[in-house]
Amino acid sequence: MGGMTSPAIDRIQAALARVNDPEIKRPITDLDMVENIDVDDTGKVTVTVLLTVAGCPMKDTITRDVTNEVSTVEGVTGVEVVLGVMTAEQRSSLQETLRGGQAQREIPFAQPDSLTKVYAIASGKGGVGKSSVTVNLAIAMAKQGLKVGIVDADIYGHSVPAMLGVADTRPTQVEDLIMPVPTPSGVSVISIGMLKPRRDQVVAWRGPMLDRALVQMLSDVYWGDLDVLFLDLPPGTGDVAISLGQHLPSAEVLVVTTPQEAAAEVAERAGTMASMMHQRVIGVIENMSFLPCPHCGPEHRLEVFGSGGGARVASTLGARFGYDVKLLGAIPLDVSLREGGDSGKPIVESDPTAPGAVVLSDIAQGLSGRGRGLAGMQLGLSPTAKG
C-alpha cells in the first residue's frame, strides 16, 4: 500500500465495497477481486482488480464503477484501474464461496426451502409470442424491484438473449460455475444457445443431452438469490417438459395461446402435459388477441386471428384438472411489441404506455401479487396433494 494514512485506505475500501461484480451481483471486495490499492503522494489511486477470466465482457463496467466510486473519496485526485486475472486457485476458491456449501448438481429452486417462484412458459406451437411474453413479464417484475432470471430452454428458437439485447454475449465461467448474462433491464439470462460450443453450430438437442443441458442451466449457473425464475420452454409437449417435470415439479406453468381454435387445441395439449408431470397450470395468456381499430380506436377490436382461444384453453384445462385456471390477460397485436423484441428493448421498458405493455405489466402485477415463497404452499393448494 502507498504512503497515505490508513483512514483514507479504509474509505477507499468502503467505496470499493459499493462496487458489485455485474454478473455475480455481489461486492467485489467480498469476492476477493481487489488485489491491491495504491495511493501516491498526490492522491492518485491505483486499484488492481482481478477479473474472473481474461477478456471478461464486463471489464469496462467494472473499470467505470470502480473509478466512479473511488473518485468520491475525499482527497482522491485521480483513479487508475489495473485489470488482472485470477489464478486457477483463486477461481476455485471463488467458486467455493459462490456455491456456499451447496453440492454440485443440486438445483437450488427444487429445494423445499427455496423462496424463488418458478414460472414455466409453455405453448402448443411456435410463433404465438411465448418468448415475447416471457421477457416482458420478467422485465415488468424487475421494474417492481424483484430479482429475476430467465432460462431460455427453447431448443428450436432460443431468441431470448436477442430480445434482451445480449444476442452475442457468451457467459463467463468460473471453473465449472457459469455466470448468468446480465442485461440492461436488470434481468439475468442463460440460454441453451449459449451452451453450444459454437454459436453457429447446429445441435440436435434430444433426450439425455437435453436433460443435461436443462440441469446445467438450473444447477451450474450462479443465480444468486432470485425472487422469480422464468423458463421459456420449447413449443409442444416434448423432452424438455418431461425433464422439467422430473427436476422441478414445483414450477408453475403459464400457457400462451393465440385466439385461434387450432392454436387453442394444441395449447391445451401442452397444458395437459405439464399437469401429467405434476406441475400446476396457473393461467393462460392470450396473445395477438385483437388489433385496435386504426379508425375507431381501441373500443373497436379487429379479431385478426379469431376469438375465444384463451378463454377456451382456460376453461378446458380447469375442467380437466378440477381447479381454477384463469385467463390472465389478452395482449393486443402491437407493432411496438414486435419492434421492442427485434431491437433488444422489450416494450414494457421501451414503450410502457403502449397497449401491449399495459396488459403485460398488469399480468406481471397480478402474478407478483401472489407473493414470494408461495411455491412452498403449492402442495397444500393442490387438490391431489392431500388424501
Ligand X SMILES: Nc1ncnc2c1ncn2[C@@H]1O[C@H](COP(=O)(O)OP(=O)(O)O)[C@@H](O)[C@H]1O
Residue 127 interacts with ligand X (CB under 6 A): yes or no: yes
Among positions 216-275, residues that touch ligand X (CB under 6 A) are: none
Please count the CA atoms within 13 angstroms of the CA of 226 that sit on its side-chain side: 27
Question: Binds 295, which of Zn ion, ligand X, Mg ion, none (CB < 5 to 8 A, cut-off by type)?
Answer: Zn ion
Q: Which is nearer to ligand X, 17 or 291 (CB)?
A: 291
Given the rule CB under 6 A, which of 80-88, 122-130, 167-175, 297-305 is the region that contacts ligand X? 122-130
Q: Are 241 and 233 spatial neighbours (Cβ–Cβ below 8 Å)?
A: yes
d(CA 318, CA 343): 37
Instruction: State the number of binding residues for ligand X (CB under 6 A).
Output: 19
Question: Binds 296, which of ligand X, Mg ion, Zn ion, none (CB < 5 to 8 A, cut-off by type)?
Answer: Zn ion
Q: Closest separation between CB of residue 158 and ligand X, Å? A: 10
Question: 3-state DSSP call for residue 382?
Answer: coil
Work out whether strand 44-51 and strand 34-39 pair parallel, antiparallel, or are unpaired.
antiparallel
Among positions 325-354, residues that touch ligand X (CB under 6 A) are: 331, 333-334, 337-338, 341
Q: Which is nearer to Zn ion, 14 or 296 (CB)?
A: 296
Question: What does the DSSP 8-state code read for residue 194?
Answer: G
Which positions touch Mg ion (CB under 5 A)? 131, 154, 157, 159
Taking CB under 6 A as the criterion, the residue among 24, 243, 356, 357 binding ligand X is 356
d(CA 147, CA 186): 8
Number of H helices and E strands in the chain, helices first, is 13, 15
Q: Closest separation between CB of residue 131 and Mg ion, Å? A: 3
Q: Which is nearer to ligand X, 52 or 258 (CB)?
A: 258
d(CA 334, CA 150): 23
Question: What does the DSSP 8-state code read for residue 326?
Answer: E
Please count the CA atoms within 13 angstroms of the CA of 196 that sit on its side-chain side: 16
Q: Which is nearer to Zn ion, 55 or 297 (CB)?
A: 297
Q: Closest separation between CB of residue 302 and Zn ion, Å? A: 7
d(CA 374, CA 387): 21
Taking CB under 6 A as the criterion, the residue among 22, 129, 283, 355 binding ligand X is 129
Q: Which is nearer to Mg ion, 172 or 260 (CB)?
A: 260
Q: Which is nearer to ligand X, 45 or 270 (CB)?
A: 270
Q: Which is nearer to Zn ion, 126 or 306 (CB)?
A: 306
Cell numbers 458489485: residue? 20
Angle between helical axes of 130-143 and 355-368 (0-180°, round to 10): 70
Q: Closest separation between CB of residue 298 and Zn ion, Å? A: 10
**How far from 72 is each of 24, 102, 148, 165, CA to CA, in Å?**
24, 37, 30, 31
Cell numbers 397480478: residue? 366
Q: Rg (Cα) of the chain, in Å, rounded? A: 23
Which positions touch Zn ion (CB under 5 A)? 293, 295-296, 300
Q: Which is nearer to ligand X, 273 or 331 (CB)?
A: 331
Cell numbers 438445483: residue? 107
Spacing of C-alpha 12 from chain mean position = 33
d(CA 258, CA 249): 26
Q: Closest separation between CB of residue 316 and Zn ion, Å? A: 31
Q: Which is nearer to ligand X, 62 or 288 (CB)?
A: 288
Query: Which burial class, exposed, middle or buried, applies to 24 when counting CB atoms under 10 A from its CB (0-12, 13-18, 19+)?
Result: buried
384 sits in the region (left: phi over 0; alpha: psi -120 to 50; else beta) called alpha
Taking CB under 6 A as the criterion, the residue among 116, 132, 191, 237 binding ligand X is 132
Q: Closest separation between CB of residue 337 and ligand X, Å? A: 4
Site string (157-196) toward ligand X, x via CB under 6 A: x-x-------------------------------------
Q: Which is nearer to Mg ion, 154 or 239 (CB)?
A: 154
Taking CB under 6 A as the criterion, the residue among 52, 90, 114, 123 binding ligand X is 123
Q: Closest separation between CB of residue 293 and Zn ion, Å? A: 3
| Site residues (vs ligand X, CB under 6 A) | 123, 126-132, 157, 159, 287-288, 331, 333-334, 337-338, 341, 356
